[in-house]
Structure 1
Amino acid sequence: MGISTSPGVWRGLKATSSNSNRFSILAFDQRGNYRRMLPPDASYETAAQIKRDVVVALAPYVDAVLLDPIYGLAAALDMPGDTGLLMAIEKTGYAGNPTERRVDFMDGWTINKIKRLGASAVKLLVYYHPEAGTAGEVEETVRSISAQCRQYDLPLFVEPLLYSLNDAVPESSAEFAAQRPELALETARRLGGLGVDVLKLEFPVDVRHEPDRAVWQRACEALTEASPVPWVLLSAGVDYDVFREQVEVACAAGASGFLGGRAIWKEAITLSPEERARFLRETAAARLESLREIVERSARPWSDYFDSPAATEDWFLSYQQMP
């Protein structure tokens, strides 16, 4: 028996995946990181236009696009209607201090508005460490957002980003790299059981410190075993060649696809409009085609995890109305 699901969640997952129920999704919900890629004097209009240009050029090569409400509306309005739309609910960054991080939200941005916009799914990013003093609070936030998504019958993708509890041990260090695989497993176990539909996860091995693909494979297989729901791989800003290799390993080990951003499009941001259009057309599109081929060949369908809703004669009588 799989996980029971509702008609809206099932439809949302179908709308954000391929016909084979695998995910090839473009992420461009970056805000703070994105602004830092632009010239300091770049206007809001420029930032929104570049995001729109990237998304419109690349949306035909993916199943769905993840956007933000700050710079993403023009992109959402102009991308193809048959491309699924995910919207980020969280505020960029985090509240609290670096070793006890909390989720922060934007004033005036709600699940209700994401539903009204016509989005197919919600994405929630959380900074998480299973042993942090704020872990319970973050878990309760995930439960709360999950419950709100259920009210509006939208699937929820949760993106946990691991962090160090010791200022002297940065996330890029060999010491934290040694902790990462087990932290990734415990994070998937805990957060995947809180009403989440899909986990958007970091690669469970820091490849800067561990080059052995056999180790990568075992770590990804363990992650698939630990996660109670489908998981997709995020790109974390690595270079494309690294991300492609990670996607290949992750999908062979049971991931259901990718939800990648900067690894695909980051070089385009600082180019002239003409150079940007050429890069997107010739390079970024080819990257997505290659990644999608890997996904369709190797990834595990998300439908392996879920039972489709029962299509009975009177199903609509018990179907919950929106608030």
Structure 2
Amino acid sequence: MKLTPGKLAGLKAVSDARGVVAAAAMDQRGSLQKSLAKERGGIVTHEDLGRFKTLVTDVLTRHASAILLDPEFGLEAAKNRNSAGLLLAYEKTGYDAATPGRLPDLLDVWSVRRLKEAGADCIKILLYYTPFEKTAVNDLKHAWIERIGDECIAHDIPFFLEFVGYDAEGGDEKSLAYAKKKPSIVSGSMAEFGKERYNVDVLKVEVPIEMSYVAGTRSFKGEAAYTRAEALQHFRDAETMTHKPFIYLSAGVSNPTFIETLELAAESGTKFNGVLCGRATWKEGIPIFAKHGEKAFLDWLETVGVENIGNVNEALKAASPWYLKYGVNSLAELG
């Protein structure tokens, strides 16, 4: 693998001094608007979304290597990122529920060129994916990712691909049955999108287990899908599926659960390269912003929010620099 100057510059911009991606995520749109509206018991405007994102960005980027934002409501927030790197989302929020297969779509008035012009150091795409979906559906998704990869090559900017698994048979993703399927879904997705044809630079992946189903953990809820030893092996097995740098997403779990997840990854010896962590740092502040306003939310962010991201950064001491995946021992060797 060889990095072009633009891709190298982009990866450096979103990494810390160690070469680890210690990034915050604030690109939620539809789900965030629904959560705020539910807590407020009323309408949440686009301006509200923008203010929420700006406050989170301003506080958390003092403790993060980068921030992931969306160009729809997050560009004002991007101005308040304290010199942290910037990843911009390129996909529309959610998916078309009326069409089988959770098919993705791109933002209408954006392109990689335009996102780069807006200040993006890296491009991020979210894709709902399972290797066990119908071939015709996955063929559409594969071609879609190939096009985006080529677009990122044309504009010499890193491509971060986030894939979120689901049950192709329509089962509940929070169930024991899905927890048993998850390791193969995550590993299979990492194997697929690590292929050179997609030109993905960093895989943003789910952990290959569901913590609440891991016996012998603090997060265990009483129903086991795997022993602790089996869970550790699932981390190791997933790592073997790709030679690409990969980072973990927090997938909406609580801060304590995400920290324990990273501890398990460390215990397994997995050489992960960082995180893009969103809701595990700021989710608990949603009702505060919705019910008590910006000042109360800012106070919460500067205390609990900072503590949350501090916990993540402490756990990230176990992460490995992404440049090791390129066969070098320092960033300087890459140019």
Cα deviations by residue, 1:107-148 (Å, 9 ceiling, x for unpaired): 111111111012110000001111212111111111110110
Q: Which residue of 2 aligns with 1:136?
A: 139
Aligned to 1:138, what secondary structure does the other structure show? helix
Distance in 2, matches of 1:305 and 1:204, equals 20
Among residues 199, 206, 210, which one is paired with 1:206 in the alignment? Answer: 210
Within 5 Å, give how 1:175-190 maps onto structure 2.
175-190=177-192
Aligned to 2:280, what secondary structure does the other structure show? helix
2:278 matched to 1:280? no
Distance in 2, matches of 1:248 and 1:98, equals 38
Q: Which residue of 2 aligns with 1:258?
A: 275
Cα deviations by residue, 1:186-208 (Å, 9 ceiling, x for unpaired): 11000121211111111110122
Among residues 319, 322, 332, which one is paired with 1:302 in the alignment? Answer: 322
Within 5 Å, give how 1:221-260 maps onto structure 2.
221-251=236-266, 252-260=269-277
Distance in 1, matches of 2:109 and 2:273, equals 33
Among residues 58, 62, 83, which one is paired with 1:56 in the alignment? Answer: 58
My pick for the range that moved more, 171-180 or 266-275, is: 266-275
> Mind listing any 5+ residue stretches in structure 1 that lack a counterpart?
316-323
Distance in 1, matches of 2:148 and 2:327, equals 22
Distance 1:298 1:98, change over 3 A: farther
Aligned to 1:102, what secondary structure does the other structure show? coil
User: Does structure 2 retain, via aligned residues, the 8 Å contact 1:157–1:197?
Assistant: yes
Pairwise CA distance, 1:96? 6.2
Pairwise CA distance, 1:285? 0.9
Pairwise CA distance, 1:5? 1.2
Deviant stretches of 4+, over 4 Å: 96-99, 307-312
| Greater percentage in helix | 2
Distance in 1, matches of 2:89 and 2:265, equals 24
Pairwise CA distance, 1:12? 0.6
Cα deviations by residue, 1:72-95 (Å, 9 ceiling, x for unpaired): 011001221x20000000001113
Aligned AA (1:267): E
Sequence identity percentage: 30
Aligned to 2:213, what secondary structure does the other structure show? coil
Distance in 2, matches of 1:98 and 1:229, equals 31
Aligned to 2:169, what secondary structure does the other structure show? coil
Distance in 2, matches of 1:95 and 1:160, equals 16
Distance in 2, matches of 1:294 and 1:310, equals 26
Among residues 26, 29, 37, which one is paired with 2:27 in the alignment? Answer: 29
Among residues 181, 200, 210, which one is paired with 1:196 in the alignment? Answer: 200
Distance in 2, matches of 1:311 and 1:223, equals 28
Aligned to 1:91, what secondary structure does the other structure show? coil
Distance 1:52 1:289, change over 3 A: same
2:104 matched to 1:103? yes
Q: Which residue of 2 aligns with 1:319?
A: none
Distance in 1, matches of 2:80 and 2:260, equals 31
Aligned to 1:69, what secondary structure does the other structure show? coil
Distance in 2, matches of 1:96 and 1:263, equals 26
Q: Which residue of 1 aligns with 2:220?
A: none
Distance in 2, matches of 1:246 and 1:209, equals 12
Cα deviations by residue, 1:34-88 (Å, 9 ceiling, x for unpaired): 00111231221122111111110111100000000121011001221x2000000
TM-align CA RMSD: 2.0
2:159 matched to 1:174? no
My pick for the range that moved more, 94-103 or 263-272, is: 94-103
Q: Which residue of 1 aligns with 2:218?
A: none
User: Does structure 1 retain, via aligned residues, the 8 Å contact 2:161–2:203?
Assistant: yes
User: Does structure 1 retain, via aligned residues, the 8 Å contact 2:149–2:199?
Assistant: yes
User: Does structure 2 retain, via aligned residues, the 8 Å contact 1:99–1:132?
Assistant: no
Question: How does the TM-score come out when normalised to structure 2?
Answer: 0.87
Distance in 2, matches of 1:45 and 1:173, equals 36
Aligned AA (2:107): M
Distance 1:180 1:217, change over 3 A: same
Distance 1:279 1:139, change over 3 A: same
Aligned to 2:67, what secondary structure does the other structure show? strand
Q: Which residue of 2 aligns with 1:15?
A: 13
Question: How does the TM-score come out when normalised to structure 1?
Answer: 0.90
Aligned AA (1:306): Y
Distance 1:95 1:192, change over 3 A: farther
2:309 matched to 1:270? no
Distance in 1, matches of 2:12 and 2:81, equals 18
How many pairs does the alignment contain?
Answer: 308
My pick for the range that moved more, 285-294 or 19-28, is: 285-294
Pairwise CA distance, 1:216? 2.7
